[in-house]
Structure 1
Amino acid sequence: MRVIALLAVLSIATFVSHPAQAQDAAAGEKVFTKCKVCHIADQDRNLIGPSLHGVIGRTAGTHPNFAYSAAMVAAGKSGVKWDEPTLTTYLHDPRAMVKGTKMTFPGLKDDQDITNVIAYLKQVSK
């Protein structure tokens, strides 16, 4: 229950503290090159990390045929869904949001990069 409350507060705080920014999917594709070592977004295929094709709206820890950490599965069971505010929080610092995740990426620090990556994910998931 505490996890759900914490994630809700983080999502709301991120959404409120970051005014709407223009989304640029082409710029997001360039930023996504940092993610391509482990993830693919334009196909529904797992690599080292789960496929991010169709990630928007997906419950955390649920992509088929991927061995998620117990922490990511628990996050999904507690109600975490990958929407824009939640992805924004996660992409800033994955290990802070989901303690125990297997994802070792330190996160994206630039808000515009995150906004653009999310735009790219939305575009390739259509």
Structure 2
Amino acid sequence: MTSQTLLAFDFGTKRIGAAVGQSITCTANILNTIPAKEGIPNWDTIEALLKEWQPDTVIVGLPLNMDGTENELCRRAKKFGNRIHGRFRVPVEMFDERLTTREAKELAWEEGHKGNYANDPVDSIAARLILESWWRQHPPTP
């Protein structure tokens, strides 16, 4: 089996969570959260991550409503994914990320997080959960 590296992003208008993982173990590790202004990241930071990890695919979380419908944040997350693809020519897949932020907060709380998400964000934990969920739905083939 050939190992694949994937980067995942949890898009947000103030912060973008990031995680990297590989297909041999289907696990992911959190990376530093990327600051954003109105959903616009420092593209040099994104480029540096792509150069460092050289992902085969980028997964961008799609924050659907609970009923499966799209919202404004979905449109912006898709735009973010399209820009990654357009600027860096890496394949990008959008992936349903409903409840990952809630799950990330629960995991952080269990590990002693005090609930101040502005100073100690959980966005990269959410990105890790997005990537791990993606692998559960797309298991690597031997």
Larger Rg: 2
Shared topology, TM-score over 0.5?
A: no
Q: Say which structure is richer in strand.
A: 2
Q: Smaller-chain TM-score range?
A: under 0.3
Q: Which has the higher helix share?
A: 1
